[in-house]
Structure 1
Amino acid sequence: MSFWIFCLVMNLLLPATMLCFGRRFQRKPPERINSVYGYRTARSMKSQQTWDFAHRYCGRLWFRLGLVLLPVSICATLLSLGKEIDTIGIWCAVVEGVQLVVLIGSIFPVEQALKHNFDDLGRKR
C-alpha cells in the first residue's frame, strides 16, 4: 500500500506543477526575457511582446491541462489499487508517460499562437 501511495503522489506532481506554474505565468510571468526561468523557446524570446504573450498563453493552457490531468491521474492510479507492486510500478510509469506527452505537446499550440500573432522579428501582426 505504501508503494501505491508513493506512486499516487508521484502521479500528482506534474499536474500540480502545471496548475501552479500555469497560474503563476498568467498572473506574474517573468518580467524580462531570460535563459533560466520561464517558457523559453527561440520564438518566445524574440521580443518582450512575444515573451509576455507566450507566458499568458502557456499559463492558460497549462492551468487547463492541469485541471484535466489531476482527476484523470487520480482515477488512473486508483485502477492499480490492490495490485502487485510490479503492476503498480508499470501503471505509474504509464500515467507519468501520458502526462509528459501532454506537457511536451503543449509546446505546439503555444508556438502556433506565437507564429500566428507575431512576425519573424517578434513584432505583432
Structure 2
Amino acid sequence: MKSFIPVLISVIPIPILMIAFGVLWKKHPPKSINWIYGYRSIRAMKNDNTWKFANLYQARVWRWSGSILLVFALIFSLNFTKSYKEIPAWIFYTELGIMILTIIPAEIALRRKFDKEGNLR
C-alpha cells in the first residue's frame, strides 16, 4: 500500500488540472484574446466569437476527458501496485497524449461552426 501513494501523486495531476480548468473556463472563460491564457489556436483567435466558443467548448471537453482519465488512472494505479516503477510513466504519457488530442474535437467544432475568416456559418 505504501507504493500506491507515490503512484497516485504522479498520475492524478493532469486529470485534476483538466477538470479544474474545465470548471474554471465554464464559469469564468478568458475574456479577451491573448497568447497567455485560454484555448489558443489560430482558428480560435480569429475574433471574439471564435474565442468564446473555443474556450467554452474546450472547457466541456476537458471536464469530461479529465474525469474519465482520473477514473482510469485510479483504476490502473490500484490494480498495478506491484509494478509501481513502470506504471506512473506510461499513465502520465497516456494522459498527456490524450490532453493534447483534445485539440482535435475543438478544432473540428470550430471548423463546423465558423468559416476560415471566423464568421458564423
TM range (shorter): over 0.9
Aligned residue in 1 for 2:57? 57
4+ runs of 1 displaced by more than 2 Å? 1-4
The structural deviation recorded for 1:9 is 1.2
Aligned residue in 2 for 1:75? 75
The structural deviation recorded for 1:10 is 1.7
- What is the TM-score when the length of structure 2 is the normalising length? 0.94
Aligned residue in 2 for 1:90? 86
Over the matched positions of the two proteins, sequence identity in percent amounts to 35
Q: C-alpha separation between the residues in 2 aligned to 1:114 and 1:89?
A: 40
SS in 1 for 2:85: helix
Structure 2 residue 114 is the aligned partner of structure 1 residue 118: yes
Stretch deviating more after TM superposition (4-13 or 115-124): 4-13
Counterpart AA for 1:77:
S
SS in 2 for 1:89: coil
The structural deviation recorded for 1:3 is 4.9
The structural deviation recorded for 1:64 is 0.6
- What is the TM-score when the length of structure 1 is the normalising length? 0.91
Query: Which residues of structure 1 form unaligned runs of 5+?
Result: none
Counterpart AA for 2:37:
Y
Q: C-alpha separation between the residues in 1 aligned to 2:17 and 2:3?
A: 22
The structural deviation recorded for 1:2 is 4.7
Aligned residue in 2 for 1:9? 9
RMSD after superposition: 1.2
Q: Show CA shifts across 1:34-88 (max 9, x none).
A: 001111111110111000000110000100111111111001011222x2xxx31
